[in-house]
Amino acid sequence: MLSFAGGVKAELCQERLRKSCCTRAELYGVLLFCNLFTPTHIRITTQCVPFAQRLPRLLRKAFSLSFDVQPEDVNAGGKLKFELTDPTKIAVIMDAYGYARENSLSHHINLAVLEEDCCRAAFLRGAFLAGGSVTDPEKRYHLELVTNHLYVQRELMALLQELGFAPKGITRSANFVTYLKRSEAIADLLTTIGAPLAAMEIMNAKVEKHLRNGVNRWSNCDVANVDKAVDAAQSQIEAIRRIQETVGLDALPDKLRETALFRLENPELSLSQLAQLAQVSKSCMNHRLRKLMEMARPEEEAT
Ligand SMILES: [Zn+2]
């Protein structure tokens, strides 16, 4: 059975290879997030059949080249391996991405390859196909991109920030991981890189989870306390909506906007759960929510 991440990759592979700028950008993403990318050896391994079908087309369209090693039958399953070992072929690729041959050991993202928006999306798609995964939203919200180049991780995080995301980074053994935790951010990124159906599945899973959580909490907890928490959350959400409709959430300072979004996305959470999620203290969260309520008040009195 296809995993959720496998389904996302299959959807991404339906994106047609159109403009040559994007084809090169996508392959660049693949190379920086694949197993091995050196001046003498390129190796990409995958278990994803649609990606394995796409790779030779990608390389042909981008550089009119073919792999030196590739699986005879991608449908055979298991680990599918693609390799380039011919130094002249690799030199063509390295040159196109602006690598000076003598110092190509520490990779950077060459932003000149990614000047257009279309190319940035294509680059991220390639990165995800080669080094990405996303957890089934029924379990939790987690999308990650893994590279073995330190600077590539740093520059990827800057690129994502520029696109409006708030990625986090960790090092896992010799790999540099960039990840997103918020369901909306994950859905946005998937939509950007060409998997809007998967993005919709994430948002649907979230709605269902909210409904289920609501029910569980009612049956497990002291009803009076839940009542109070639900009332508080309700009026906080109303206040945030009022701000949204009047000045807009973009007018808020960063921290308040973040708090407002957390609350809107998690109406069922208690104050302490919300504080935990936002990684701030309970009193800090309380303070921010009060601030939001205050900001919404003048509007209420005016009507
Ligand atoms: Zn492009």
Half-sphere exposure of 35 (CA within 13 A, CB side): 13
Beta strands in 66-142 (DSSP E): 80-84, 132-134
Q: Find the helix or strand (DSSP H, E) in which 253 lies.
A: none
For residues 161 and 252, membership in a common domain is answered with no
- 53 found inside a domain: yes
> How far is it, in rounded angstroms, from Cα 303 to Cα 299?
7
The CATH number linked to 194 is 3.10.28.10
What distance in angstroms lies between residue 40's CA and the mean position of ligand 1's atoms? 28
- 215 found inside a domain: no
- 214 found inside a domain: no
Calculate what percentage of the chain has a pLDDT beyond 70.
91
For residues 183 and 294, membership in a common domain is answered with no
Query: Using CB atoms within 10 A of its CB, is residue 194 exposed (0-12), middle (13-18) or buried (19+)?
Result: buried
Higher per-residue pLDDT: 248 or 167:
167
Confidence band (pLDDT; 50, 70, 90) for 216?
low
How large is the average pLDDT for residues 35-39?
92
- 248 found inside a domain: yes
- The domain containing residue 153 runs over which residues? 4-198
Residue 218, pLDDT above cutoff 70: no
- The letter for the amino acid at 181 is K
Alpha carbon separation from 40 to 68, 88, 92, 102 (Å, rounded): 12, 9, 12, 12
Provide the domain count of the chain.
2
- 273-300: per-residue pLDDT in tens? 888 888 888 889 999 999 999 888 764 4
- 56 found inside a domain: yes
Residue 11, pLDDT above cutoff 80: yes
Contact 13, 53 (CB under 8 A): yes
- 213 found inside a domain: no
For residues 55 and 110, membership in a common domain is answered with yes
What distance in angstroms lies between residue 303's CA and the mean position of ligand 1's atoms? 50
Q: What is the predicted pLDDT for the residue at 301?
A: 46
For residues 193 and 257, membership in a common domain is answered with no
How large is the average pLDDT for residues 65-77?
92
For residues 70 and 115, membership in a common domain is answered with yes
What distance in angstroms lies between residue 24's CA and the mean position of ligand 1's atoms? 8
Residue 107, pLDDT above cutoff 50: yes
For residues 174 and 51, membership in a common domain is answered with yes
Q: What is the predicted pLDDT for the residue at 48?
A: 95
What distance in angstroms lies between residue 221's CA and the mean position of ligand 1's atoms? 53
What distance in angstroms lies between residue 119's CA and the mean position of ligand 1's atoms? 4
What distance in angstroms lies between residue 51's CA and the mean position of ligand 1's atoms? 19
- Phi, psi for 252 (deg, rounded to 5): -80, 150
For residues 51 and 178, membership in a common domain is answered with yes
- 206 found inside a domain: no
Token pair in block for residue 136? 């089934």
Among 8-17, 62-71, 114-123, 228-237, the minimum mean pLDDT is found in 228-237
Q: Which residue has the tokens 């159109």?
A: 18
